[in-house]
Amino acid sequence: MIAYKGFTKDLWSRLGDDKEENCRFVIGETKKVSESKTARSGFHCCENPFSCLGYYDLDGQNRFFKVEAAGDIDEDESERIACTKITLLEELDTLKFAVEGMRYIILHQDRDGWKKSYRNVVVNADEAETKEGIAIARGRNPMVKGREGCVLGALRENENGEIVNATIVKVKREESGKWFRIGKTGKLEVVK
């Protein structure tokens, strides 16, 4: 199962498994433990990439990965996963992290809880704004705003609430602090 996990800059995971308080990871290596129980034992990760932000900030001091969760898997209602085997597949920079988060929302359009707000990430209905990090808006005519270097995403819905268009952009200097909306081309454009 594909999932997502946050780490410290040196790939340490806080509260790693039931035998160690902290656990260090290596990209591509598979780690194994004997049992998994969410919030108690095993390697923990999240189904929704943005849920990782409840444990690690998107602040340049932490790193985020797409992982393979395998073996015995235990899940709870909070989108948390505990597993007995885990492999780090791909590191996610801010743009890839936002893309994976938008992909999750598209694949699970009918789930509640897609609205998220963390220190440097805002996922909201209709409008989202950030000064650094990621802003994603979902709605009939979503608008997003951020400073230079921020990643902005928009998910346009039809009259039935189904997502029919998704687009993402990294803000350039001349676009900093301006509102974006999905234009006629289907891409994010600065609002005139």
The enclosing domain of 13 has a CATH number of: 3.20.170.40
pLDDT at 18 over 60: no
Q: What residues make up the domain containing 176?
A: 112-190
User: Is 104 in contact with 92 (CB distance < 8 Å)?
Assistant: no
In a domain, 99, yes or no: no
118 and 168 in a single domain? The answer is: yes
Give the whole-angstrom CA distance, residue 168 versus residue 186: 10
| Mean pLDDT, the chain, integer | 92
Please state the rounded mean pLDDT for residues 161-175: 97
Nearest CA-CA partner of 67 in 17, 111, 25: 25
The pLDDT value given to residue 17: 47
Residues 6 and 86 in one domain: yes
Mean pLDDT over residues 92-102, rounded?
97
pLDDT at 15: 56
* Residue 137, domain member (yes or no): yes
Which whole-number Å values give the CA distances from 129 to 78, 101, 124, in the listed order? 25, 16, 9
Number of domains in the chain: 2
In this prediction, residue 78 carries a pLDDT of 73
